[in-house]
Chain A
Amino acid sequence: MTALIEACEVSRVVGRRALVDRVSLTVEPGETVILLGPNGAGKTTFLRMLAGELVPSAGTIAWEDAPIARWKPRSLAAKRAVMSQSHPPTFPFSVFEVISIGLEGIGRGCDRRRRLGAIEEALAAADLAALAGADYGTLSGGERQRVQFARALAQLRIGGLSESRQVLFLDEPVASLDLCHQLVLMDRAADLAAEGIAVVAVLHDLNLAVRYADRLVVLAEGRVRAIGRPATVVGPQLLRDVFGIDLPIGGAPPADMPFVLPQLHRPRRAAGSAMDESFSGRTDPVAAIGR
């Protein structure tokens, strides 16, 4: 079985600087690959090349054994969805409209019920059912990120009707989210991975990355410093050399200082729907439509 994505010695050079320097990576269905590294390491640039937005200066990227350039935009759109860092549109759109627009490309041939169903599921998964009619411009940063997440989900669902072996790209998906929603979102991503969808994410939070990654890819200055399972990759040497921090791994702070670790988080799944009532504390979304 061919790799879902195969990136081989990929570089991106702008001016004199190599933002990404000969990085190789394969991505298989159902696995969660998390890109870690200090600022300016080239994580987002690499992700954007994998997703097909940027063209590498050197090296190859192949999806299902076919060079990415040969993929038709529509087919690629059915194969993968990208959650970028949030852009606020300057125009009044409702949350529902934002997600609905996300289906413009691939949702064409789809019938209305399917589309609405995908949107509904995405809203629920991102805990946005109550905000479906809200003006996107009035939302907080975190709420907007969840909308972008929902949009990516909806696109994946509709794309899944024509393509199997899909990929979800997440570029700093939890940057503005409160801790609860950070965990909810990463749980949803993990659910997708369990269904067979590959997840490639850029994260800054080391603990969160360790908790959710099947494989970690540590980048610094455009180059790979380590690839592998979190347990083998994260060590004091890496922390010092790459991240420039000198902290012991697994050490506990003094007794009078509380610490909370996402590593201990266990998602509680409600039967049937993807709605995680216990964490969000929200009521039934159907009844909550107001705005």
Chain B
Amino acid sequence: MAMDFPTHRAGPDRRLRPRAHRFVSIGFGLALVWSTLSVAAERIVSASGPITEILWAIGASDDVVAVDTSSLFPDEILKTKPNVGYMRALSAEGVISTRPTLFLSAEGAGPPDVLKLLREAGVQVEILPDAFSGEALAAKIRRIGSLTGRETRAETLAADVERRFAELATLKEQAKPRRILFVLMLQASRAMVGGRNTAADAVIRMVGGVNVAEAIDGYKPMTEEAITAAAPDVVLMMVRPGVPAPPAEELFALPAFARTPAAGKKALVAMDGLYLVGFGPREPEAVRDLATALDRLDGDRR
């Protein structure tokens, strides 16, 4: 039996016409070039720990040319990327020497003269507000996504973050209300605590706790009497990577803490600062870990 193979036939057929074909190829080629350009051309300086985390999470790590001293996660960043120093004491020439196209940082970056010089050098300077909630964090992630041309991955991450934060709601409902004091650091025996309008405050609320330092605005020192009067059930302490937390006995031996309810139960929880109050993509996990630690404390008591 002879097969009827299609041969070149004149006349209309279902394949694309050559001219349209050409447009599509050109269009596709342009899109390819455009996306390559917009991705390869980005050189990002990130002067904020949480922002650096987000950049890594959306796959932009190759575009990051320098970070600051607070960019501690993932661990290898500070070993592989140049460090521009403390974000409030930046060097204009130093940042410019990394030839960035985009400079990202949080509120308080400076000095202002340096940011001005960066703008003059043609760098896009974006200062992103600190996030204290799931919505704010998601918005921040989306913004970073659009600034770096990685909207898709950012969208995925943002949606995931929103979901994980929503799941925390049950945590809050089930939690026992505890009086919590967040200690940023101890200098000599003076404690710098987290008051309202801080990430620490937001975290405490998320685990259903009460921030006993609410009367204070921001991270400020708290006097001994005030700490005793605040009567926290739990002391939540921030530590830096590589620096061990003081043992509970030592902390509660200090006069400020000795007469708190927390002292009686040696209720001290120490967690990595960037992890817990950085409000990066790992935040929901950090909150869960905190909740677990708090429950364990209660468990120990029974």
Report A-B touching, CB under 8 Å: no
Partner-B contacts on A (CB < 8 A): none
Partner-A contacts on B (CB < 8 A): none
